[in-house]
Amino acid sequence: MTDLRPMVEVKGARKSFGALQVLKGIDLSVDRGQIVAIIGPSGSGKSTLLRSINHLETLNAGEVWLDGELVNQPLKGRAFERHINAVRQQMGMVFQHFNLFPHLSVLDNITMGPIVLKGTSKRDARGLAEELLGKVGLAEKIDEFPSRLSGGQKQRVAIARALAMQPKVMLFDEATSALDPELVDEVNAVMRQLAAEHMTMLIVTHEMRFAGEVADRVLFMDGGVVVEEGVPQDMFRAPQHERTRTFLRKYLAA
Amino acid sequence: MQGLDFSVVLPYSGILWMGVWWTVVLTVSSAVVSFIFGIVFAVTLLYAPKIVTYPVRSFIWLFMGTPLLLQLFLIYYGLVQIGIDIPALAAGIIGLGLHFAVYNADILRAGIVAVDPGQAEGARSIGFSRLQTLRYVVVPQAVRNTAPPIGSNMIALLKESSLVSVIGIAELVHAAQLGISETFRPFEFYLTAAALYYILNLVLEAGLRRVERKVEVSR
């Protein structure tokens, strides 16, 4: 059974912060099970694009679709709140700075969403947390508090927390940028595993090698537009645009 | 000149213990009221529409800008005049509770604002509503981060609870005054009462330290 409808679709996305135009008309389509990496210099709008997809940023114009449902519906007040909360439950987001809840144990960080939002029983939620922690290699940390974890461990718990809502798509916003280099691999390994399980993923990243390895498609953004996109082999070996070449030269040399 | 003779206090120890008991009841109940209303006021001031925040802000200014003693008189003696007859204990708890709620609200408001915006984003990204985000993520952290100043506030509350003696609640100061009126030994009774307040606050302080230590891990 194949569903040809894209999982995530962005049409003509525009966003300004005051006079600064951050997104100048972005189109993007991600198929079911596809992994798209978004690269580009700081300030290119890639994080804003990702955050617009689950409406942490409000677009000035354009549409975002998730699995055939319009995300930024023209609803008002409570009606929109209800709608967006339901939509966000279907999208997992992983942040650069983890945003784990420091006042809750690892277990509660993961189970709070399912318990509060889906009415999952505490027992089932614990089972789910154990399974997900096993998957990210942190089964023994279930009763720890985030303050006792390393950055890499925190990020893996954050991924487990997002997965606990059984999302249709995972959004990674520079998930490894705040980590010490030696901790990056453990987080990448988890993302690779998700890729192997055909999770639909949008990954904003500065790690070209990882992007090249895991992504089906790479988007290069600069100045609020998609300059170039393609399969990683073409993008990294033979970029068509001068801006892409300049950017990649800097990164790949490093 | 009379020497100090604490043996005069002994026959009144039962009354004094009752005073301690009522002081504890008052303090704990008022603390709960001040805490709950502190959170409600803080959240209202930060997030409610202006039509709601203006009256709440005026209310807060009123409670901050007038003496607790007068507030107690107004609640207990004043309201009766317009047909609202509140028992002394309830009046004491409402007066003390609201008075300290106003100070707690100020502290908590600063505490809520200080919570990293990423926390709310983390909660919203899972699908939590604004209210759920406040309830499960932001307010619990604000409370943890402001535990020390709120604790100091509660120590002040314990001491200020002595003011409700004026509306006839048999708390510690009231009990001491009873003893004094029969023995004419103010120094012994007031010193005893002072010592009891001090001990109560030592216990409270130790309790607050425990809370703070516990909270430290989860920050």
**pLDDT tens-digit map of A208-244:** 999 999 999 999 999 999 999 999 999 988 899 999 9
* pLDDT surpasses 60 at A169: yes
- What distance in Å separates the CA atoms of residue A42 and residue B10, rounded to the nearest whole number? 77
Question: Is any Cβ of chain B less than 8 angstroms from the Cβ of A178?
Answer: no
Q: How many CA atoms lie within 13 A of B76 on its CB side?
A: 23
Average pLDDT of the residues in A48-74: 96
The predicted pLDDT at position A175 comes to 95
**pLDDT tens-digit map of A80-139:** 999 999 999 999 999 999 999 999 999 999 999 999 999 999 999 999 999 999 999 999
Nearest CA in chain A to B215: A103
**pLDDT tens-digit map of B170-189:** 999 999 999 999 999 999 99
**Minimal C-alpha gap between A54 and chain B (Å):** 7
Read off the pLDDT band of B215 (50, 70, 90). confident
- Cβ atoms within 10 A of the Cβ of B51, count? 7
The predicted pLDDT at position B216 comes to 76
Average pLDDT of the residues in B34-62: 94
Count CB pairs under 8 A between chains A and B: 70
Average pLDDT of the residues in B10-20: 94
Architecture of domain B6-218: Orthogonal Bundle (1.10)
Buried-exposed string B121-144: b where 16+ CB fall within 10 A, e elsewhere: bbbbbbbbbeebbbbbbbbbbbbb
pLDDT, mean over chain B: 93
* pLDDT surpasses 90 at A7: yes
Residues ≥6 apart with Cβ < 8 Å to B65? none
Average pLDDT of the residues in B115-134: 96
ipTM associated with this complex? 0.93
Contact call for A56 and B132, based on CB within 8 A: no
Contact call for B218 and A95, based on CB within 8 A: no
- What distance in Å separates the CA atoms of residue A250 and residue A10, rounded to the nearest whole number? 29
Read off the pLDDT band of A250 (50, 70, 90). confident
B125 → closest Cβ in A54, A86, A148: A54
Domain regions of chain B by residue span: 6-218
In chain B, how many H helices and how many E strands? 11, 0
**Minimal C-alpha gap between A161 and chain B (Å):** 8
The predicted pLDDT at position A249 comes to 87
Q: Lay out the sheet containing A225-230: strands in order across.
A: A91-94, A169-173, A200-204, A35-39, A217-222, A225-230
Read off the pLDDT band of B212 (50, 70, 90). confident
Biggest distance spanned by C-alpha atoms of chain B: 75
**pLDDT tens-digit map of B64-82:** 999 999 999 999 999 999 9
